[in-house]
């Protein structure tokens, strides 16, 4: 099955960015701080009416969160949609999202972590590029580096006609090309055997995570491997995998497990690009064609927006 993404329209200064809470409950202080950063970048900001709702651990009921996301995609005045925060809950509302309507009028959606559920569903069900990157009440509120902010604005405005990210090491050197999919490892594994699992064949798989013990990382990598995912992808690129409580011993074990579970693969494997938890969180366009080269780089050679 061929895949050709619809690129969402570029985001310009003065455009309205909608902010939605798709997952865990959001703290007002962090949301307001992040909204202030967006405003300082020259965007108008429209926060969804239920962004500060709380239903148990979630930012409101599933149907309310889904309805607001659908409404922002349908609103012609909202030019891009940024997630408020991760946590847990995005996957619960996937059956309630109108992907067919989104496919007819795609727009930028930006998020990561728990939003991995939605990002890959947008790529495959709405055939649109989706953006793995900072969230408003997390990264924007906590402070992004100047490089991360510049990269984000250039990517979403269409000014980035070509860009590349360098990995710290090549666990298996080589070259490959394919559309980029993936995101948070634990979330991605949770999609397996569901209708919302990404298509992996011939694609480059990006993986990152945070706060997981080494044995859990190994278990999830084993699951992907035994499910045949690693044999189907064109290449694998790891961001950071930050251990629980920052343990140095766990960090070493994670690195050993990653090397062990990717050993002997026929595809190239890179480790340590600055995307995801515990990094500068440089934005990645999922669904866009990328290339792994022999110099340890992930390369994009076309704009991610129209």
| Residue 256 annotated among the catalytic residues of the structure | no
Sequence-distant (6+) residues with CB within 8 A of 247 are none
- Please give the span between the terminal C-alpha atoms of the chain, in angstroms, as a whole number: 23
Q: Phi-psi category of 281—alpha, beta or left, where left has phi over 0 and alpha has psi -120 to 50?
A: left
Active site residue 48: no
Question: Out of 68, 113, 179, 274, which one is annotated catalytic?
Answer: 113
Burial of 174 (0-12, 13-18, 19+ CB in 10 A): middle
| Catalytic (active site) residue 245 | no
The HSE-up count of residue 182 (CA atoms within 13 Å, CB side) is 28
**Annotated active-site residue in 48, 68, 179, 208:** 208
Number of helices (H), then strands (E), in the chain: 10, 14
Residues 121 and 130: their CA atoms lie apart, in Å, by 9
**Residue 53 backbone dihedrals phi, psi, to 5 degrees:** -65, 160
Cα–Cα nearest to 113, from 281, 233, 290: 281
Catalytic option among 68, 179, 277, 280: 277
Alpha-carbon Rg for the chain in angstroms = 18
Strand order in the sheet with 163-166: 163-166, 297-300, 289-292, 176-184, 204-212, 235-243, 269-271, 169-172
Residue-wise burial string across 255-290, b where 16 or more C-beta atoms lie within 10 A, e elsewhere: bebbeebbeebebbbbbbbbbbbbbbbbbbbbbbbb
- The residues that are catalytic are 113, 208, 277
């Amino acid at each position: 099955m061929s895949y050709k993404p619809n690129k969402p329209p570029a985001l310009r200064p003065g455009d309205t960015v909608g902010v939605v809470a798709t997952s865990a409950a959001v703290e007002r202080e962090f949301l307001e701080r992040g909204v202030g950063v967006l405003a300082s970048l020259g965007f108008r900001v429209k926060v969804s009416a239920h962004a500060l709702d709380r239903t148990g651990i979630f930012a409101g009921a599933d149907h309310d969160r889904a309805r607001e996301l659908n409404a922002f995609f349908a609103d012609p005045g909202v030019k891009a949609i940024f997630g408020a925060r991760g946590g847990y809950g995005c996957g619960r509302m996937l059956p309630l999202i109108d992907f067919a309507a989104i496919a007819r009028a795609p727009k930028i959606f930006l998020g990561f972590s728990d939003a991995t559920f939605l990002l890959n569903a947008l790529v495959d069900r709405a055939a649109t590029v989706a953006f793995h990157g900072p969230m408003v009440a997390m990264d924007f509120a906590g402070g992004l580096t100047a490089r991360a902010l510049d990269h984000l604005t250039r990517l979403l405005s269409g000014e980035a006609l070509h860009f590349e990210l360098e990995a710290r090491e090549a666990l298996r050197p080589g070259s490959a090309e394919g559309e980029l999919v993936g995101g948070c490892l634990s979330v991605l594994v949770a999609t397996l055997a569901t209708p919302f699992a990404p298509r992996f064949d011939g694609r480059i798989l990006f993986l990152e995570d945070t706060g997981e013990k080494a044995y859990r990382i190994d278990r999830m990598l084993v699951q992907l491997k035994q499910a045949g995912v690693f044999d189907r992808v064109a290449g694998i690129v790891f961001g950071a995998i930050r251990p629980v409580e920052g343990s140095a011993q766990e960090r070493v074990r994670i690195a050993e497990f990653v090397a062990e579970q990717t050993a002997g693969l026929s595809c190239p494997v890179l480790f340590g690009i600055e995307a995801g938890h515990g990094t500068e969180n440089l934005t990645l366009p999922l669904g866009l064609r990328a290339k792994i080269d022999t110099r340890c780089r992930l390369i994009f050679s076309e704009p991610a927006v129209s």
